[in-house]
A and B are shown apart, each in its own frame.
Chain A
Amino acid sequence: MIKKLGDEAKTHDFVTRLFRNAPVLDGGERGATTTFTQHGLGDVLVTFKNRGEPLMHAGKPHRVLPGFPLALGYTLVYLALIVLIPLAAVFLKSTSLTWEQFWAVISAPRVVASYRVSFGASLLAAAINAVFGLIFAWVLVRYSFPGKRIVDALVDLPFALPTAVAGIALTAIYAGNGWLGQWLEPLGLKVAFTPLGILVALTFIGLPFVVRTVQPVLEDLDTELEEAGFALAFARAVGEYGSVIFIAGNVPMVSEITPLLIITKLEQYDYVGATAIAVVMLVVSFVLLFLINGLQFWANRGRARS
């Protein structure tokens, strides 16, 4: 009422006059309603919907459930010890380099070539998965066919199968004497030990991310989450190591991925160099992570509103 009339004095005045003109005044809301409807007394029934107010304004929002300080405290300490402090160590370690030194490490030709391989192959793999993952999810959502249960369960195989196992299996398939390699190589298509092999490995590990993000969304035909699936597949692919190194051939400047360069530097005891490259990768993945969470947050909010 204060909002409608502008200020408190006017409101006070209005309410006073209202009460003064009322021949019948009953205290409680229920009493007034009874007087008005049952006994037919009075011309206007004024009620105040303010019963929720005292609860909402009685100090803090009221917590019935126990354990909040313990649960949150434990969460924060564990998060700091296992994730935040160790990751901060990477950034701190990189500050032992001057900016010029840092730049020299991260822009060395071999390192730049590895970004091109890692990011290029990841982007391409994510694009392939966006197309085929969408078809895959569409087929799983829209159609029924024999064996669908098994197909649906096996989509998550790349989540569950250790990356090293995937790596040696893919290599065995696409090597020159492998099941597919022996047919592809005469056609001039060398897959294993070339950048194409990296693409195959990254497509394998990225597939479930797209399918599982898109699948539940296909019902409403939302588009934001398709992008989230793409970003998830890309983020996973950029950092991937195990499934790639077996099939990549790891030729410097051609088929060497960035995570492998970090390991190479570590093996040469070049800790600072390894850290500098790690910082570049971390910054990229943090940006992606916030992007993904942002997309999912907006998508959820959009759905809640509609």
Chain B
Amino acid sequence: MAAAVATHWTAHARRFEVNAATREPAWIKGTLIVVALAFFGLFLLLPLATVFAEAFRKGWQVYLAALVESDALSAIALTLLTAGIAVPLNLVFGVAAAWAIAKFNFRGKQLLTTLIDLPFSVSPVIAGLVFVLLFGAQGWFGPWLMERDVKIIFAVPGLVLATIFVTFPFVARELIPLMEAQGREEEEAAIVLGASGWQTFWRVTLPNVKWGLLYGVILSNARAMGEFGAVSVVSGHIRGRTNTLPLYVEILYNEYYFAAAFAVASLLALLALLTLVVKSLVERRGRQQLSVGEESGAST
């Protein structure tokens, strides 16, 4: 995803402002900053502030009561469980895919990269639909599963599958460009000097990409915990059993428990903020790693 690109522009901006050729008149600069900040406030800051303002509108007691409700607690548990299964599976896949794509040349590489991106461009609703078609009561494996009394749709396995689908590309997407940029010299050196494949991976590759990896994991975790459309299709909305946090927010909202809905939503908003904080930290570390890598690469 484009967000992976390091975005530390302060030094860069100063360069443009110092250079007379690229410095714009003050009024243009002022206008543009005002327009950008107005857009920012209206479309990003206001929705975020609203979540917390609405959540606390009826006071602390109502807020806390909404969160310790047993349905809320089971929604939290289910959300953690789903993300806890989906994220590690996609992590292993992402590492394998990045190793194959970034370190080797083969035919159809471009196509494979495009196919890995597919879930990004598929509507979440369709991501849910595909699993209903496969495992639903009228689906292809439906009768077979029913005979064996295995429930996938309207049960936890369906939620996990849909979540895996929507978070599928995240880790691979972060790692591929990073590992391509780092090349394979270091790994080749390790192998030639007698390290085994796993040793090379754990001691050379992984330390080199750990920040990018962490970033991919954080992003897919945020999406896994916040996914709504796909899980909405496969969940069946059974309270206390198949409701993840976002689905629980919807139910509360539709039943006009606005304060409670926003209270639960504020948990997800906090998760989003935490994700952004970790993301900026990771980006800073990752940049150092990349620039150090470039310097040592240039000197050899």
Partner of B272, one of A78, A160, A208: A160
Beyond A78-B93, A86-B134, A152-B7, is A168–B265 a contact (Cβ under 8 Å)? yes
Q: Contacting chain B: which of A28-36, A50-58, A141-149?
A: A141-149
Could you tell me if A141 and B9 are in contact, using CB atoms closer than 8 angstroms?
A: yes
- The verdict on B150 contacting chain A, using a C-beta distance below 8 Å, is no
B122 engages A87 (CB within 8 Å): yes
The answer to whether residues A144 and B121 also contact, given A75-B100, A162-B225, A278-B126 and a CB cut-off of 8 A, is no
Q: Which of B241-300 contact A (CB under 8 A)?
A: 245-247, 249-250, 253, 258, 261-262, 265, 268-269, 271-273, 275-277, 279-280
Q: Is B125 in contact with A79, judged by CB distance below 8 angstroms?
A: no
* B129 x A66 contact (CB < 8 A): no
- Among candidates B12, B112, B126, B164, residue contacting A281 with C-beta atoms closer than 8 Å: B126
> In chain B, residues 1-25, which have Cβ atoms closer than 8 Å to a Cβ of chain A?
1-3, 5, 7, 9-10, 12-14, 16-17, 22, 24
The residues of A that contact B161 with a CB separation of less than 8 Å are 82
Residues of A within 8 A of B1 (CB): 159, 212
Q: Does A282 contact B (CB under 8 A)?
A: yes
Query: Contact partner of B253 among A168, A232, A262, CB < 8 A?
Result: A168
Interface on chain B toward A: helix, strand, loop, or mixed SS?
helix
Chain B residues within an 8 Å CB radius of A166:
47
Q: How many pairs of A and B residues are in contact by the CB < 8 Å rule?
A: 317
What's the least CB distance linking B4 to chain A, in Å? 8
Chain B's nearest CB lies how many Å from the CB of A96?
Answer: 11
A274 on the B face (CB < 8 A): yes
B39 part of interface (Cβ distance < 8 Å)? yes
A164-B121 contact in complex given A154-B40, A154-B276, C-beta closer than 8 Å: no
Contact of A135 among B35, B48, B188, B222 (CB under 8 A): B35
A241 to B124, Cβ gap below 8 A? yes
Contact B122 A282 (CB under 8 A): yes
Task: Return chain B residues, CB-CB under 8 Å to A86.
Answer: 130-131, 133-134, 165
Q: Which residue of B lies closest to A66 (CB)?
A: B197
CB distance B126 to A242 under 8 Å? no
A66 and B100 alpha carbons, distance in the complex (Å): 10
* Contact, CB under 8 Å: B113 / A275: no
Residue of A nearest to B119 (CB): A83
B130:A89 contact, CB within 8 angstroms: yes
Number of interface residues of B (CB under 8 A): 108
**Cα A241 to Cα B228 with chains together (Å):** 8
State A138–B187 Cα separation when bound (angstroms).
Answer: 39
Partner of B3, one of A156, A235, A282: A156
For residue A170, which residues in chain B have a CB less than 8 angstroms away from its CB?
47
Per-residue CB contact flags for chain B residues 197-240 toward chain A (1 = under 8 Å, else 0) read: 10011000000000000000001001001111100110000000
Q: How far is the CA of A236 from the CA of B2 in the complex (A)?
A: 13
Contact A239 B51 (CB under 8 A): no
CB-CB under 8 A from A64, the residues of chain B are 184, 187-188, 191-192
B36/A162 in contact, CB under 8 A? no
Asked if B265 and A160 make an inter-chain contact with CB atoms under 8 angstroms apart, the answer reads: no
Chain A's interface: helix, strand, loop or mixed, by majority? helix
Q: How far is the CA of A79 from the CA of B165 in the complex (A)?
A: 10
Interface string of A59-80 (1 = CB under 8 A from B): 0010111111011101110110
Cα distance A63–B106 in the bound complex, in angstroms: 11
B232-A162 in contact (CB<8A): no
**Is there an interface contact between B261 and A168, defined as CB atoms closer than 8 Å?**
yes
Whether B268 pairs with A161 at a CB distance below 8 angstroms is: yes
User: A3-11, A14-22, A41-49, A287-295: which one contacts chain B?
Assistant: A287-295
Q: A65-B104, A65-B191, A157-B276 are in contact. Are A142 and B117 (CB under 8 A)?
A: no
Contact indicator A275/B129 (Cβ below 8 Å): yes
With beta carbons under 8 angstroms apart, the residue of A152, A163, A266, A289 that contacts B114 is: A289
Bound CA span A135–B29, Å: 11
CB-defined contacts of B265 to chain A, threshold 8 Å: 162, 164-165, 168-169
How near does chain B come to A173, taking the closest CB pair, in angstroms? Answer: 5
Q: Can you name 26 A-B residue pairings with CB atoms under 8 Å? A: A65-B184, A65-B188, A74-B96, A83-B119, A87-B118, A89-B134, A135-B39, A142-B22, A142-B29, A143-B29, A144-B14, A151-B37, A152-B9, A157-B276, A159-B222, A164-B246, A166-B47, A173-B46, A179-B50, A215-B9, A241-B228, A242-B232, A263-B232, A266-B129, A271-B136, A281-B126
Top 4 closest pairs, chain A to chain B, by CB: A239-B123, A162-B226, A242-B228, A241-B229
Binding site for B on A (CB under 8 A): 61, 63-68, 70-72, 74-76, 78-79, 82-84, 86-87, 89-90, 93, 132, 135-136, 138-145, 148-149, 151-166, 168-170, 172-173, 179-180, 203-204, 207-209, 212-213, 215-216, 219, 229, 232, 235-236, 238-242, 246, 259-260, 262-263, 266, 269, 271, 274-275, 278, 281-282, 285-286, 288-290, 292-293, 297
Interface residues of B (CB under 8 A from A): 1-3, 5, 7, 9-10, 12-14, 16-17, 22, 24, 29, 32-33, 35-37, 39-40, 43-48, 50-51, 54, 92-93, 96-97, 99-101, 103-106, 110, 112-126, 129-134, 136, 138, 140, 161, 164-165, 168, 184, 187-188, 191-192, 197, 200-201, 219, 222, 225-229, 232-233, 245-247, 249-250, 253, 258, 261-262, 265, 268-269, 271-273, 275-277, 279-280
